[in-house]
Structure 1
Amino acid sequence: MSKTTTLGSLLRTLIDRLDHDIELRYQTHGLDYRPRYTPIVRALQELGPASITAIANHTGIPHSAASQTVAQMHKKGWIAYSEGRDKRTRIVSSTAQLDAALPTLHQEWEATRRAASAFDAELSVSLSALLVEAHAALDRVPFSTRGQNQADTPPIHPRHPQKKGKHT
């Protein structure tokens, strides 16, 4: 990686690489399925037919992102829409195509879980644990307010001590 590579670029590139490799696994099963569909599918399995708002709330995905993903899934035949109680709400449900693919998807999700565990074990620190820690840190102090001045900078985590002579 270049010295000018930013945190955002590193995170996007990592997600792109992981998603690409996982998509290849789905393709070996003849599935036109993307990793971003998985939270929606899992929500439908847990909630049954649900509104996009309910799915977004259940998964923690922003409503706009959930809506975009559901629209992509609808175009690919993974989910169907029906009208909700009030005519403004669409209810999302699985299709026969999705139901037929579920056994394979469950196998691939388990394979992905094992791969993630092996990946974490190979790193100097668990990426999964670090990401949970990063989310918690951002819940405490949003990224947008960090670094505005040195007094606002949170203390360095004990796992990453400052080197002597760097700051006085």
Structure 2
Amino acid sequence: MSREQRLGAKAVGANGLETYGAFALGGRLRRLSDRIDRDAKSIYEKMGVEFEQRWFPVFNCLRGGDSLSVTQIADHLGISHVSVSVTRKSLEAAQLVTSTADKEDGRRSNLTLTEKGKALAQELAPLFAALDLAAADLNAEAGNAIAAIERLESALDKKSVSERTYHFLELGEAG
């Protein structure tokens, strides 16, 4: 298999990240995420709601009313503890979340929606439901992109990008 076939590179004349084929996968996923986040931001702004899309995963975990630790949220979402902590600080600054020291382990913080956060969760529930339907519609139109993302995540669980890169370097196929 040629390098171009492996990379999935497009013909000359393509532009931007597309010219790099699979090599630009991370960049294209970031671009896609940015595009979705911009759309969501514009919806919140048009509705006059002060809410940042980057808050959604953590905020959504807490909508059920449970008090959860940063670690529990990170594990549930499959993201880093640091990422949850950064989001927590931003949600606290917006007075949507409060954190308290865990009774069993004072080093751990438990997060809970404030009254303002609970009111916002209730206000946003119809919008979140509509966004979920829009995402499902987009996913269906794109031929089940979620399944493709799940396959990518599974492939990365089996062998990371760095492991794959070192493999090709060892084979002398890189360059």
Q: Is the 8 A contact 2:65 2:112 kept in 1?
A: no
Which shows bigger deviation, 36-45 or 93-102? Answer: 36-45
1:131 alignment partner in structure 2: 149
Q: 1:152 to 1:32 in 2, by over 3 A?
A: farther
1:115 alignment partner in structure 2: 134
| C-alpha RMSD of matched pairs (Å) | 2.4
Match for residue 8 of structure 1 among 10, 19, 26: 26
2:164 alignment partner in structure 1: 146
Unaligned runs of 5+ in 1: 154-168
Tell me the CA shift for residue 11 of structure 1: 1.0
1:18 alignment partner in structure 2: 36
1:99 alignment partner in structure 2: 118
The whole-number CA distance in structure 2 between the counterparts of 1:111 and 1:127 is 19
Q: Deviations over 1:93-152 (max 9, x none)?
A: 1111111111232212211121112212332x3211111111111111111111434599
Matches within 5 A, 1:55-74: 55-74=73-92
Q: Is the 8 A contact 2:58 2:73 kept in 1?
A: yes
Aligned length: 152
Q: 1:149 to 1:49 in 2, by over 3 A?
A: closer
Q: Is the 8 A contact 2:100 2:111 kept in 1?
A: yes
Which shows bigger deviation, 89-98 or 14-23? Answer: 89-98
Report the residue type matching 1:90 in the other structure.
S
Q: Is the 8 A contact 1:146 1:152 kept in 2?
A: no
Report the residue type matching 1:62 in the other structure.
S
> Which has a greater percent of helix?
2
Match for residue 87 of structure 1 among 106, 111, 115: 106
The whole-number CA distance in structure 2 between the counterparts of 1:131 and 1:87 is 37
Higher relative contact order (CA 8 A, sep 6+): 1
Q: Is the 8 A contact 2:71 2:81 kept in 1?
A: yes
Q: TM-score, normalised by structure 1?
A: 0.79
Unaligned runs of 5+ in 2: 1-14
Identity %: 26
